[in-house]
Amino acid sequence: MLPKRIRVDGLSTRYFQAGEGAPVLLLHGASLGSSADVWTRNLRPLAAHGLRVIAPDLPGFGGTDNPADHSVAYRRQFVLALMDAMDIPRAALVGHSQAGRVAIDLAFSDPQRVTKVVVLATGSLLPPLAEKAEAEGEEGGAQQPSLGDTRALLAGNLYNRALITPDELDLRHRMSVGKNFHAFLARRALKGKGGGKGAEAPWQRVPKCPVPLLMLYGENDRAQAAERARLAKEVTPQINLHLVPRCAHLVQWDAADAFADIAGPFLASG
């Protein structure tokens, strides 16, 4: 599948697209090397449910230009700007890891633009087992990664490490160096700045989500995700949350079929 390009807020933006129907945006996470390519095995299976599925490289990732503003707040604004550029009034949002927060925050701030939200492996949306909740990090080091570093980072996010083929590793590494590494350093420099603590923790807002919400977590994900997901179901039994077996942080890789089987009907339902 070949990527396409569109200009969004002055940035040349790379994206993949498949299918026709109700629009769904697939938003990748913020780890070094993340890009729209994490969704390529999911595009057609989701599109088969009668959906128009769009996976963009967010600003500073993949083949999209680096922005002047590397904040998460800008990435939220960029999602709406992308929708405007594509003439999409409303769309469902699927967010992996840190982008799960982006998706659910947009559902609260702009519910008229968001039809549904699917969250994949977003740690901050689960209740903590101890005092401090696990937030989504931006995995990577202070030096531009070697191929071995990229392999180690990718392996830490997968249960089935056989998925790390030479081609996948090469692609991930290319998305981890050069301008994308400089963007990663800029994001890391902003970490902890300007956030401020709200009255509620992110996970406490989940039951109040103003649009239909589906949450998927891997049973083998880091930061005790399985135990925390079970606690979330105990605290709020009505939430639509699934634990996926033999699956780590990259749910859409480890469990591509299960992801399509669960998320596809949810996204396609009226």
> Which residues, in sequence order, are CB contacts of 216 under 8 Å at separation 6+?
118, 119, 120, 121, 241, 242, 244, 251, 259, 262, 263
Question: If you count DSSP H runs as helices and E runs as strands, how many of each does the chain have, helices first?
Answer: 10, 8
Cα–Cα separations (whole angstroms), residue 270 to 25, 30, 239: 17, 31, 19
Task: Name the token pair of 76.
Answer: 């939220």
| Secondary structure of 39-102 as H, E, C letters | HCCCHHHHHCCCEEEEEECCCCCCCCCCCCCCCHHHHHHHHHHHHHHCCCCCEEEEEECHHHHH
* 8-state DSSP, 129: S
Q: How many CA atoms does the CB half-sphere of 230 hold within 13 Å?
A: 5
In which domain, by residue range, is 174 found? 4-268
Q: What is the pLDDT of residue 227?
A: 96
CA distance linking residue 156 with residue 250, whole number of Å? 9
**28-67 CB burial, b ≥16 within 10 A, e <16:** bbbbbbbbbbbbbbbbebbbebebbbbbbbbbbbbbbbeb
CATH of the domain at 218: 3.40.50.1820
Cα–Cα separations (whole angstroms), residue 262 to 79, 80, 166, 235: 24, 26, 29, 23
Q: What is the pLDDT of residue 200?
A: 84
Pairing of strands 4-8, 11-18: antiparallel
Low-confidence ranges of the chain (pLDDT < 70): 131-137, 193-198
Total of domains in the chain? 1
CA distance linking residue 82 with residue 222, whole number of Å? 31
